[in-house]
């Protein structure tokens, strides 16, 4: 399925590698009994074409887990409140040289909120309500999901690893109070080569 998404983009002289970013902070105080079950799971899967970059999360593999801190629902007490930030690094390795590589996050129409640009939580009886995941780059600028202009550039002028930090945090959306519960959301990481 991912290769079907990649091929049309290659025809436009733009090579795109997709990787899957799954965010699952078992979050928001009450269901969390230990720090081990309060994590964001970041998984990357994809097809790489020609001379593409390898992806590494936090100096590990492309399949790493990033833990969001356990927070009280009281920290998300109003619309637009943001709390529980966690930095994670995405390193691109062995990229083609003399290229500008841009990275942005994408999701399905039902996996993101078009109004806030955030990732939506899974709906269900054990899941927190009115909470989303906001992604930011290291300059604290929001990485709007599904917006290629909201990207992080990696300038690959010479061979070597290039790392940028990103930030994931809880985000309260709506006038209703955030409820305690689980959080599970997913996004793809899109890498454009120019």
DSSP for 82-142 reads EEEEEEEEEEEESPPSSEEEEEEEE--TTSEETTTTEEEPPPSTTB-SSEEEEEEETTS-B
- Residue 4's SS3 state is helix
Torsion angle of C-alpha atoms 106, 108, 114, 117, degrees rounded to 10: -30
pTM listed for this prediction: 0.73
**pLDDT above 80: residue 23:** no
Over pLDDT 70: what percentage of the chain? 72
DSSP state of 155: E
Does residue 39 surpass a pLDDT of 90? no
CATH architecture of 2-193: Sandwich (2.60)
Check residue 150 and give its pLDDT: 92
pLDDT tier at 35, thresholds 50, 70, 90: low
Q: What is the pLDDT of residues 141-158, one digit of tens each?
A: 999 999 999 998 887 777
Structure tokens at 80: 């637009």
Q: Please give the pLDDT value at position 5.
A: 34
Mean of all residue pLDDT scores within the chain: 76
What pLDDT is attached to residue 50?
60
């Amino acid at each position: 399925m991912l290769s079907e998404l990649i091929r049309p983009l290659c025809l436009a002289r733009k090579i795109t590698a997709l990787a899957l970013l799954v965010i699952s902070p078992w979050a928001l105080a009450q269901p969390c009994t230990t720090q081990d079950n309060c994590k964001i799971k970041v998984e990357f899967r994809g097809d790489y074409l020609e001379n593409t970059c390898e992806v590494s999360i936090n100096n590990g593999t492309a399949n790493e887990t990033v833990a969001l801190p356990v927070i009280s629902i009281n920290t998300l007490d109003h619309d637009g409140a943001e709390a529980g930030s966690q930095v994670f690094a995405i390193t691109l390795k062995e990229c083609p040289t003399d290229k500008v590589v841009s990275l942005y996050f994408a999701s399905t129409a039902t996996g993101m909120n078009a109004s806030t640009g955030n990732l939506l939580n899974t709906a269900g009886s054990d899941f927190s309500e009115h909470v989303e995941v906001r992604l930011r780059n290291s300059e604290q600028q929001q990485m709007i999901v599904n917006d290629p202009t909201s990207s992080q550039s990696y300038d690959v002028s010479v061979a070597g690893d290039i790392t940028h930090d990103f930030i994931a945090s809880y985000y309260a959306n709506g006038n209703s109070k955030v409820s305690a519960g689980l959080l599970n959301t997913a996004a793809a990481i899109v890498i454009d080569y120019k």
